Amino acid sequence: MKTNRWIVKLAALILFFPFLFGCKTYMKLKYGVTQPKQETPAKLISFLEKYHFPTQNMYVFSDSAGYIQEMKNPTFSKYILSNMIFDHDGILLKRDTAQCQWSGYDKIKSLRIDSLYEKNDELRLTQLLEKIRPFGKSDIPGTELKNPDFTVVVTWAKFLGSYNYRLFVLDEAVNLNKTARIRLIWLNIDMQKSWSLTPGQKVAIN
């Protein structure tokens, strides 16, 4: 009986671990999330190819100003470990969950143009597009698919470790959706070496 009680207690601890110790701590332990480092487009492409991740429709922030502004934006940062879905008018759809590891796979797969969604007007797609630029095998932001019903922006990074697998599988969710035209943007959130950040700026971001 005592053994069974300990098993139940251990199971409960594991279940509530993210809430007891926080999302960041949980992510570091489970997925090997590390502190952000300065990267280059060439290194990012090599990383993507090494793990057989998509290399099309890749974007990065154009400069440190836009990067820092959005990383400190509470609305943007809330969606970092999942994705941002914008409707055809560029308005952000609200997340329907507070889960730490919610990837949004099922929601993306079932997006419909004739469905009603709760929206968040605090972040617009145009606000992001003006701050990012393509790198690698990509095109100008916004030209991959004209007049999409939805635009899905997925934030990924080398420092997110194996959690990236949960993010890049969203490509499959987009392809499985046969009812909506979905534009997919992979937005990298690693710091870029070309920004020449000062030590103080790096500390502020980390």
Rounded Cα–Cα distance for residues 141 and 90 (Å):
13
Confidence of residue 19 (pLDDT cuts 50, 70, 90): very low
Q: What is the pTM of this model?
A: 0.81
Choice between 180 and 101, residue whose per-residue pLDDT is larger:
180
Q: What is the pLDDT of residues 126-178, one digit of tens each?
A: 999 999 999 976 555 545 567 899 999 999 999 988 889 999 999 999 999 99
List, in sequence order, every residue forming a beta bridge with 86; answer none if it has no partner: 92, 151
- Contact by Cβ (8 Å): 41, 159: no
Say which range, 9-13, 26-30, 48-52, 143-147, has the weakest mean pLDDT. 9-13
- Sequence letter at residue 57: N
- Compute the residue count for the chain: 206
Q: What is the pLDDT of residues 172-194, one digit of tens each?
A: 999 999 999 999 999 999 999 99
